Amino acid sequence: MKIAVLSGKGGTGKTLMAVNLSSVVPGSVYVDCDVEEPNGHLFFKPDITSSETVYVKIPEVQTDLCTGCRKCVEFCKFNALAYINQSLLVFDEICHSCGGCTLICPENALIEKNKSVGRIQIGTSDDVTVLTGIMNTGESSGMPIIKQLLSKDSLNEEFVFIDCPPGSSCIVMESVKLADYCILVAEPTMFGKHNLEMVHELVTLMEKPYSVILNKCVDGENPSEKYCINNNIRISGRFPFDNELGTINSNGMISARVQSTYQSMFASLLQEIGSVN
C-alpha cells in the first residue's frame, strides 16, 4: 500500500506524520518527494547505501551548423532560447527538456547534453528504507527528480509512505500519482482550511481515496474540521497542540521511536486508516 501525505503548505506537520507513520511499520519505505526542502532524512538520519545524480537533457548549439533561422526560438514556448548578436543562447534554468528544438532544427545544429538537476540518496534507518530526492539550488522544477524517485524498485515494498511537496502543483500531482491512499494534514485556522481545500480538490480530481488528519488542534473553533464536516470528509485523526511532541520534533527525533505513547498513537492512526481500505 502506498500512502501519500499532503498538505496545502509547509509547516502543517506533513513530514512529522509521514516519518512517524513510516516508523511504526517494520520494513516500510519512506520517500521524500519534497525535493526543494527534503527534511525527512534529518529525523531518520539514514546510513546512506547509494546515491545517484539526476540528469535532464539540455540543448547545445553547434555554432558551425547554425544558420540563425530562429525556428527553434519560435518553437520554444518556455522562452528558453534567444538569438542575439548572431548567436543562439540557451537559458538552461528555464528549459523544460522537451527536446522539441533539437527535433525541429533543419540544420541538425542542436544536440542534447546532460545537465545535473539534483540527486537521490537511498539509505536505511533501523528497518526503514529512506529515499530522499534533493534538488540543486536554483533549479526551476523538481519533476525529473520525483519521477526518478518513484521509479525505484523499493516502491514495490508492502508499505510505502510518500512525503509530498507542499501545495497542489504539478509536482504534487506527480508525487500522488502512484498512491493508493492520501492523507491530508490540516491546521485549525482559516488559512489552514484554505490550504486543505486546495489539496482536497486535487485528490478529488485524481479520484484518490483519502482522509484528513487535523493537526495542532486547540480548544475553540476549527475551520478545517468544520470544512470536513460540511463536505462529509472522513477525519482519521485529531492531534492536539502538543508541546512535548513539538520539542521532540524540533530536536530532530522521531516521537514514535522515543516514546511508547506516541508509538501507540501513530500505530492506532495507521489502523484507523487501514480499517477502511
Alpha-carbon Rg for the chain in angstroms: 22
C-beta separation of 99 from 148 below 8 A? no
The CA distances from residue 150 to 33, 115, 143, 189, 236, in Å, are: 9, 20, 11, 33, 26
If one asks whether residue 111 binds ligand SF4 (CB under 6 A), the answer comes out as no
Interface pick for ligand SF4 out of 4, 5, 109, 203 (rule CB under 6 A)? 109
Distance CA 103, CA 153 (A): 32
Q: Which is nearer to ligand SF4, 95 or 150 (CB)?
A: 95
If one asks whether residue 246 binds ligand SF4 (CB under 6 A), the answer comes out as no
Which among 32, 65, 64 is positioned nearest to 165, based on CA atoms? 32
Rounded to a whole number of angstroms, the minimum distance from the CB of residue 67 to ligand SF4 is 5
Interface pick for ligand SF4 out of 45, 70, 113, 226 (rule CB under 6 A)? 70
Which among 2, 23, 5, 47 is positioned nearest to 267, based on CA atoms? 23
Strand 2-6 to 87-90 pairing = unpaired
Interface pick for ligand SF4 out of 11, 27, 68, 252 (rule CB under 6 A)? 68
Interface pick for ligand SF4 out of 4, 6, 76, 120 (rule CB under 6 A)? 76
Interface pick for ligand SF4 out of 19, 35, 54, 66 (rule CB under 6 A)? 66
Distance CA 29, CA 162 (A): 8
Binding footprint of ligand SF4, residue count (CB under 6 A): 27
Distance CA 257, CA 126 (A): 10
Q: Which stretch binds ligand SF4 (CB under 6 A): 44-52, 80-88, 163-171, 206-214?
A: 80-88
Interface pick for ligand SF4 out of 7, 22, 97, 168 (rule CB under 6 A)? 97
If one asks whether residue 143 binds ligand SF4 (CB under 6 A), the answer comes out as no
If one asks whether residue 9 binds ligand SF4 (CB under 6 A), the answer comes out as no
Distance CA 59, CA 112 (A): 4
If one asks whether residue 98 binds ligand SF4 (CB under 6 A), the answer comes out as yes
Q: Which residues pair with 61 in a beta bridge?
A: 110
Retrieve residue 185's grid coordinates. Answer: 494534514
- Residue ranges that bind ligand SF4, judged by CB under 6 A: 59, 61, 66-72, 75-76, 78, 80-81, 83, 88, 95-101, 105, 107, 109-110
